[in-house]
Amino acid sequence: MRNTTKITTAVLATGALTLGLTACGSDKGDASDTSGPLVVAASPVPHAEILTYVKDNLAEKAGLDLEVKEFTDYVTPNTATEDGSVGANFFQTQPYLDDFNKKNGTHIVSVVDVHLEPLGLYSHKVKKADELKSGATVAIPNDTVNEGRALQLLAANGLLTLKDGVGTAATPADITENPKKLTFKELEAAQTPRSLDDVDAAVVNGNYAIEADLKPAKDALLLETAEGNPNNNLLAVKEGQEDDPRVKKLAELLTSPEVKKFIEDKYAGSVLASF
């Protein structure tokens, strides 16, 4: 039986850190205690699926007691890691983590890169990106890094031009050329696939695309490439917990040949191992 707890959280915006700490306060534990199970916060797909594979197939033999908690937002896993409610998390990229720490005063650090979820452009109304009409509405994630990634994806494929050097901090205000006069609907990342019936296209994070039964390798009109991509998903802990033997063991298992094969077999190119 899977030892997985699913936690559904509300969308958090202003005051996200305070709300996140409140949401997790009842479960607050002692992150310095390494005698119990390692509790890892994760997005349901593919992160919790990968962790559950490790739990069911590799952890016991390796002597790791692993517990997985699922979260459906991009805030609470970090606040829970910061306050010790969980021992680690697995859901985010390094640029997102850096931005989160800067804005919220948290102290979360990367342990190991595990996989890439290519961010893609999807549509229920057109079959090719160049078929988008003038004035089309495109939904994009509203958090700093993923919004920037979305705009960079559109720029890399000629749909718009951005100011030089803006990187993943790009916002619609940084668009210098917009030949199709696209308009943008900024949504919480988890809402983007649900918006596809209401907008002309949406840029969707890989995990949310898979969860919505989209197949990035097949269904995306545009898709990030893996080569040179800084947006690998990583295992993270609160600073000072990197040497926890349970964390080290999990890092080894997450980058094992068995997990690489699991990722390749299950996700067929929609998730790419980064090790």
Phi (first) and psi of residue 126, to 5 degrees: -135, 160
Same fold, 4-118+229-273 and 120-223: yes
Instruction: Please give the pLDDT value at position 33.
Output: 65
> What top-level class would CATH report for the domain 4-118+229-273?
alpha beta
**For helices 94-104 and 144-156, angle between their N-to-C axes, nearest 10 degrees:** 140
pLDDT at 2: 36
Task: Note down pLDDT in tens along the chain; length 275 residues.
Answer: 434 444 433 333 333 333 333 334 334 445 556 779 999 999 999 999 999 999 999 999 999 999 999 999 999 999 999 999 999 999 999 999 999 999 999 999 999 999 998 999 999 999 999 999 999 999 999 998 899 999 999 999 999 999 999 988 999 999 999 999 999 999 999 999 999 999 999 999 998 999 999 999 899 999 998 777 888 999 999 999 999 999 999 999 999 999 999 999 999 888 999 99
Model pTM score: 0.74
Per-residue pLDDT at 13: 35
CATH superfamily of domain region 120-223: Periplasmic binding protein-like II (3.40.190.10)
Count of all residues that appear for the chain in the document: 275
Hey, where are the domains in the chain? 4-118+229-273, 120-223
Are the C-beta atoms of residues 115 and 232 closer than 8 Å to each other?
A: yes
**What pLDDT score was predicted for residue 227?**
72
